[in-house]
Structure 1
Amino acid sequence: MNTEARQAGFTLIELVFVLSIAIILSAAIIPIGDKWIRTTAEEDAFKSIIATIQSLQSYSMANNVYTRLRFTKPGTQTMYVAEAPGSIEFSRKLLPEGMHVSSLSNLKTVEFHANGDIINFGRLTLLTNRGSRTITFQMQRGRMTISESKRLFLAGSNPDPHNHSYRIWYITSARDENDDYTA
């Protein structure tokens, strides 16, 4: 009569093999995930700035008050504040780590008259971990446009020759059929 019972389970070698595969996979995936999170946070912050600017201009026109978007750096991170000075602060948001207004940017604040007209025209340049992002404020055919361009800098600080530009049209009473735009 056979009294030996067969035991089931994994050997130590099998466990070490599976764990080593898991460690190799996680070492490859974690840096990619971190870069994706940082890139997504910067993109979301940039889109939020554009939406805040549009909201401020709309608020100025609807309520006949002066509004502005200003950037401050109270600590290590830059923050932007949307406000109607003296009356209300709409929002205060931190930018992602490493994102800030360039010292070469000719606009440090975006301000609107009570009728919604922008006070100063020019470029607002934000530096990110991936390069610089610029919003250009200009008057064109009776309406204001925000032209967004991004330049990525590769290793060795050579600018990427591909420049992606978008025009975001708003505050239009009528659009000419010859207008070229992408939104």
Structure 2
Amino acid sequence: MIDTDVTPKQIIHWFRQICDAVQAVHRAGLVHGDLTPGNVLVDADNRITITDFGFSQATIETTASAIDKPRLLGGTPGFAAPEQIDPAFGSIGPKTDIYAIGGLLHWLIFRRPPNHGTSLEESLASTLSSYDSEVLPSEAISDALRNILAATLRKSPADRTATVADILTMLGPSR
């Protein structure tokens, strides 16, 4: 589990590995569905392992009751994409993991999920709000990382960056 304070260089190193791992999952035709700090392990050599594929093969059936009342269809509150809570946002697919990659980056930088609240209801309401959060320029975050957050944490899957490869391009070459 990634649970320690990290340097900006470590964030980039881990984030690149997370993206590579999720890209491999997508190439295998799967969606992870629950990318959270607790499901990302770091070994003694600073290598990342993605765990807990419990939601990766889950199928979602849309019913009238699911549309009428927000409910968690997979994922972890605070990190789950809007379509995992309300099918009106669209289908669960690779862009669901794109959102979660943005959530992991948000957590690495700010030490909190992108949709946080003091209760489950507040987290869900934040996720389902009708506006995309603006990522303001800050000395604590590079323009590249700010742009990745903005491109991945869009409420509508159609508005998110298309692929993990696009995220890696935005990140720039590895050093």
Question: What's the TM-score once normalised by structure 2's chain length?
Answer: 0.31
Question: What's the TM-score once normalised by structure 1's chain length?
Answer: 0.30
Greater RCO, CA 8 A, separation 6+: 2
When you count strand as a share of all residues, which structure comes out higher? 1
When you count helix as a share of all residues, which structure comes out higher? 2
